[in-house]
Structure 1
Amino acid sequence: MTRTDNDMSLAAAYRRTNYMVDHDGGSFAIRVGEASEEVDALLQQRAQTSWAYITACNPRSERLALEENQWRQTDLRNYLREMGYCIFAGRGVAQEPGWPPEESFLVIGISREAATMLATMLEQNAVVVGTQGAPAELVFCLSPENSETD
């Protein structure tokens, strides 16, 4: 498989992933290309218009040990709190067999630009972003598709 084939395969996998958010004793899914009434309600409650779904786990989609991922997520959570963002825990649930759920955060109030910069610093291939009422978009950070969104 060439790098381009691998990038396309990863992009397709990211688009099929359910980005789960824990809230009010339950959870809901964010899906690329779809608007989310639940996210819109959270934005409205907090007088915000933008959001991102981000992880520090498995940079460049290369699996790390559980302990390393936990450490990276703790650092990310602390950073997001220090920056004053409202965050909700969640996990990305891939449809591909063999890829375990990936701990993540829904970040309320972060701009697309800030989320993309943060994801790049975390060596993530992509980040899911959105604004109130609009479909979730997949923004590539490290791949050749970096200027494309969904």
Structure 2
Amino acid sequence: MATAIDEATLRAYRETHYRVLGDAPMTLRIDQASAPLAALHRALGVASSAFITAANPFSQRCDDNANARRQQALAQDVVQKGLQAIDALGEHPSNGWPAEPSFLVPGLSLADARMLGAKYGQNAVVWSGDDAVPRLVLLR
């Protein structure tokens, strides 16, 4: 798939550990099935979820206050859709990029995940369908 995202950034996205916090902590990895995510989907009666952030649009670092404001706006958008946002962190294991505040949003459709990612200037989102395999969905 042709993309405007450089290969180093794509590699970093694929290597990142997508850590879900809260009552059912888990770490998601791109293209690796997640039994804890499948269990969460079953428990909540949803067929999909998205791991999404509003931080650091287009992979350009913003200060903590700007990222916090962006995350709050994203949380409000999620609530307006009648869904819950579970606190999460996107964290690369070795490249020194600061962990990004994120959310896992159970029940978020692929279309809505794309829309929210685009609204907040993201290069990509991580979306999982009923197979509970997190997939990198490129937005540009």
Say yes or no: TM over 0.5: yes
1:45-70, CA deviations, whole angstroms, 9 ceiling, x for partnerless residues? 11110110000000000000110000
* Distance of 1:86 and 1:35 partners within structure 2: 22
Give the unaligned 5+ runs of structure 1.
143-150
Q: Which one scores higher on RCO, CA 8 angstroms, separation ≥ 6?
A: 2
Tell me which amino acid in the other structure corresponds to 1:22: L
* Distance of 1:22 and 1:52 partners within structure 2: 14
Q: How many corresponding residue pairs? A: 138
Match of 1:32 among 5, 30, 36: 30
1:106-149, CA deviations, whole angstroms, 9 ceiling, x for partnerless residues? 0000111110111011110000001122421101002xxxxxxx
Structure 1 or 2, whichever has the larger Rg, is 1
**Number of the residue aligned with 1:125:** 123
* Distance of 2:37 and 2:125 partners within structure 1: 16
The offset of 1:38, in angstroms, is 1.3
Asked if 2 retains the 8 angstrom alpha-carbon contact of 1:13 and 1:96, the reply is no
**Number of the residue aligned with 1:63:** 61
The offset of 1:86, in angstroms, is 2.2
Higher deviation after alignment, 79-88 or 102-111 = 79-88
* Distance of 2:43 and 2:80 partners within structure 1: 21
**Number of the residue aligned with 2:15:** 16
Give the unaligned 5+ runs of structure 2.
none
Asked if 2 retains the 8 angstrom alpha-carbon contact of 1:13 and 1:95, the reply is no
* Distance of 2:47 and 2:72 partners within structure 1: 26
1:57-101, CA deviations, whole angstroms, 9 ceiling, x for partnerless residues? 000000001100000001111111121112210100113432010
**Number of the residue aligned with 2:78:** 80
**Number of the residue aligned with 2:104:** 106
The alignment's C-alpha RMSD in Å is 1.6
Stretches of 4+ aligned residues off by more than 6 angstroms:
none
Change (3 A) 1:132 1:31: same
